[in-house]
Each structure stands twice: as C-alpha cells, then as structure tokens.
C-alpha cells in the first residue's frame, strides 16, 4: 500500500481494474485474480523494490570459483542480495522508480527463471511458501482496493510516506503506514 499511496495514479489504475472486473458481484474469488494484470504488475514491482527477504538463504560454494571478477574459495558462504538485484541500474531502467508498467506484457515472473526478479529465491531452494504468499498478497490487496477508497490522514500527504525498514532477515517498516479507509457504496 505504501508504494500505491506514494503513486496515486498507480493506485487509481489498480482500483479501476479491480472494480471493473469484479463489478457488482460484491466479492472476489481466487480465480478472478488471473485477470488482474495491473495488480500483478504492482505486486511484482513492489517485490522488486522491497523484497520481504533482502538477502536470500546462503549457499556454500562446492569448489573455488570466480564470481563477478572475485575469487571465491571453496566452502565459502555466498549470499544473494535480492534487494540490490532489484535496484540494479544495469538491469532496470529507472531502477529506483516505482513503475508497475515495466511488468505489463513481460515474461518476468517469481519462479526463479528470471534472475532479475528473485524475491523468493530460485532453483531447488526457492521458497516453498511462494505460491501461498503470492495468492495471499494478491487476494488481500485486491479486496482492500475493491471495498475501500484510501487516503492519507488529515495533514499528511504522499511526500510524508517513508520506506525506511528495520534491519533483519526480513524487512519490516520502521514507521507504520497509517491510512484512512472509506468503504465504497456497493
């Protein structure tokens, strides 16, 4: 929600898509999610900029190797920095900018086949809860956007939203996002 509130046009586009596709039926089913291309792009872009686990599970090298011009000895623990990959300007145009449109009609997914977006890891050690986590985020966000209009509390605006996180294995916002939810008329 932080990225959407900081980017009101993206918030509006996502809400319009969700509300138009659900229509008057009043509820959202998991099957409906497949139609939400822009919502899925928003979530991918959020995971790109703010992965839940910025450093993926460490791997141990089997033998001496060379990584990016650096000699790495055998039995060395190597961490993959998903946060840095998601912000790499050699991979992403305008890498610090929130731009869900970059994922529209893009083959890039979470399954670890595209190493420029690996918030859940890749290969045999990919997060076993990936599918459940993605489904939970998609359903929760779609329902929040379908049922409510969102605004900043009185006296706050989008410039006041920060993205500071607490250090740790997983990221947690340092300062809570406080919003006003207004139920829409059905």
* Residues of the binding site: 127
| Residue 25 in tokens | 């039926």
CA atoms within 13 A on the CB side of 22: 22
Question: In this structure, are strands 172-173 and 165-166 parallel, antiparallel, or unpaired?
Answer: antiparallel
Distance CA 11, CA 149 (A): 10
First to last CA, the chain: 22
Residues annotated within a binding site for heme:
127
């Amino acid at each position: 929600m932080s990225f959407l509130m900081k980017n009101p046009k993206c918030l509006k586009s996502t809400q319009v898509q969700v509300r138009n596709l659900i229509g008057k039926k009043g509820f959202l089913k998991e099957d409906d999610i497949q139609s939400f291309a822009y919502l899925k792009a928003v979530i991918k872009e959020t995971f790109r900029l703010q992965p839940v686990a910025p450093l993926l599970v460490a791997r141990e090298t089997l033998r001496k190797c060379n990584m990016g011009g650096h000699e790495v000895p055998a039995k060395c623990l190597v961490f993959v920095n998903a946060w840095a990959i998601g912000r790499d300007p050699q991979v992403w145009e305008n890498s610090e900018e929130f731009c869900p449109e970059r994922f529209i009609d893009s083959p890039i997914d979470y399954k670890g086949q595209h190493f420029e977006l690996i918030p859940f890891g890749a290969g045999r050690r990919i997060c076993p809860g990936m599918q459940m986590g993605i489904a939970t985020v998609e359903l929760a966000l779609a329902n929040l956007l379908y049922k409510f209009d969102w605004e900043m509390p009185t006296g706050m605006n989008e410039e006041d939203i920060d993205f500071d996180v607490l250090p740790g294995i997983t990221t947690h916002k340092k300062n809570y996002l406080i919003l006003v939810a207004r139920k829409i008329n059905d």
